[in-house]
Amino acid sequence: MFNLEKNDRETFARIGKFYTAHGSFNTPVFMPVGTVGTVKAVSTVEIEEIGYEIILGNTYHLYLRPGPEIIKKFNSLHNFINWRGSILTDSGGYQVFSLNSLRKIKKNGVEFRSHIDGSKHLFTPENVIEYQKVFGSDIAMVLDVCPPYPSKYEDVKEAVILTNEWAKRSIERAKELNIKVFGIVQGGVFEDLRRFSAEFLVNLDFDGFAIGGLGIGEPKNEMWRIVEEVVKILPKDKPRYLMGIGKPEDFLEGIRRGVDMFDCVVPTRNARNGTLYTTCGRVLIKKEKYKYDKNPVDKNCECFTCKNYTRAYLRHLFNTGEVLALRLNTIHNLFYYFSLIKNIRQAIIDDKFNEFMIKFYELQKEEEND
């Protein structure tokens, strides 16, 4: 169940709360990506301590390793990874369709070979929901067809038709299994196909709606144009999830257009690559200028990393290949992301979202250009 609690006076930004079997989470929300049952470099305890209420897993990867049989022995993915909050699991459709020569699309589903050992498997709209039920997912995603960018109009149209057919089969199985499920709007950068997909899905009783197939190479202005078109069609009383999008500025641009949910590997992957996010822009921690820097990564941050370590030390750890660098960097980036979303929610409550956006962009002066 989704409760819409407040709309911004000047934009389409809004705050709400979504209730699951494992509690609830506030929206707008960023979901850290725990593809194979772990958010890389940090523990579920640390993620909970930061304040996160929901994380994301991936059905394709969890299906291959550790496999539904092992997770079933623990009664849920929550128990297996020791996570008390909610879990959304992606269907794995994007991963399967990224395999190119290793997969074959059929009306019934998609055959694919494992990227690990080459073994042959079949995903159908029904069994993907069934696997997510085994995982104990609080929110399941339908199996969809995600064509690459750029793609021909006819190819994208064919993908939308199949995605819609699979969505209908998916929700029927989800209702039988009593699991919350989101539909996924596809259609590339073609407005008419996006409208066709969204209008079809809205007529089905989904618990929420995702916008998929964006952030895969198209220009940013094209992405936001499509988001605006889709949001116009999606119901106001259901959450809207922009899949795979999650740079700090994307939150502001998406939220002001009415998006509620985000996920992305950006904060964790970039942390492992030495890129740290701060209230004043990005810090590339390996740079020479931080060699003697006694300041924390971000003077405005209260995370474990910033309260205990200097930029100079973090630079030393990263440049010497120490594992601790990955952990401390990841903790910081996840804390920054959580704080940013929390502050955005407060700005909406205070009817100061536009002011918050203006100040955010004024402060975002990348340090490497100083």
Strand partners, 140: 89, 181
Instruction: Return the domain boundaries, the chain.
Output: 9-264, 271-369
Taking only the tens place, the pLDDT of each residue in 296-322 is 999 999 999 999 999 999 999 999 999
Distance CA 242, CA 231 (A): 10
Number of H helices, E strands in the chain: 15, 16
Burial string for 27-55 (b: 16+ CB within 10 Å, else e) reads bbbbbbbbbebbbbbbebebbeebebbbb
CATH class in words for 9-264:
alpha beta
Q: Is the pLDDT of residue 53 over 90?
A: yes
Is 351 labeled as catalytic in the residue annotation? no
Answer yes or no: pTM beyond 0.95.
yes
| Joined tokens for residue 251 | 């939150």
- The catalytically annotated residue of 138, 260, 263, 298 is 263
Is 293 labeled as catalytic in the residue annotation? no
Taking only the tens place, the pLDDT of each residue in 179-212 is 999 999 999 999 999 999 999 999 999 999 999 9
SS3 assignment, position 149:
coil
Contact 254, 262 (CB under 8 A): yes
Strand pairing class (120-123; 139-141): unpaired
pLDDT of residue 367: 57
Please tell me the chain's helix, strand, coil percentages from 3-state DSSP, rounded to the nearest 5: 45, 20, 35
- The catalytically annotated residue of 90, 144, 250, 260 is 90
pLDDT of residue 93: 82
Q: Give the position of tokens 């290793």.
A: 102
Q: Would you place residue 369 in the very low, low, confident or very high pLDDT band (cuts 50, 70, 90)?
A: low
Phi, psi (deg, nearest 5) at residue 199: -65, -35
Q: Would you place residue 366 in the very low, low, confident or very high pLDDT band (cuts 50, 70, 90)?
A: low
